[in-house]
Amino acid sequence: MSRNTRFRAALLGLLVTLPLPAGAVDAPYEERLYRLGEVLGSLHYLRNLCGETGSLWREQMEALVTAEDPAPEKRARLVASFNRGYRSNSEIHMNCTQAVAAAIARYMKEGEQLTHETAITFGN
């Protein structure tokens, strides 16, 4: 199973297992979700830079936001985290290079780890 497939499967598992947030109280896993948003934004930019076409990583982010169904302020923070990951990489990387390929591998590993650990720690 490829890292891409494992990461997507772990993300789907996370979406299914996370408990619904209770009102205005911050979920204990919220900071992890913001970091995951940054990772997804980074992957969306970098993988497309290296030839992937489509919006898979943005769709994964949309699924995460939909599953969380956050209040408007938290939704804005999640979207901002995705955009921060996208923008920070677009300001640095203009071409697909060995460094970009290495960054993609690191983000894939981190995203897979975040989703797996969050599902295990906070899943139902």
Q: What would the two tokens of residue 6 be?
A: 């494992």
Q: In the chain, where are the structural domains located?
A: 29-122
Question: pTM, whole model, 2 decimals?
Answer: 0.80
DSSP secondary structure of 10-59: HHHHHHHHSPPP-TTSPPTTHHHHHHHHHHHHHHHHHHHHTT--S-HHHH
- Phi and psi at 55, nearest 5°, equal -130, 35
Q: What pLDDT is attached to residue 22?
A: 47
Residues 30-48 have pLDDT tens digits of 999 999 999 999 999 999 9
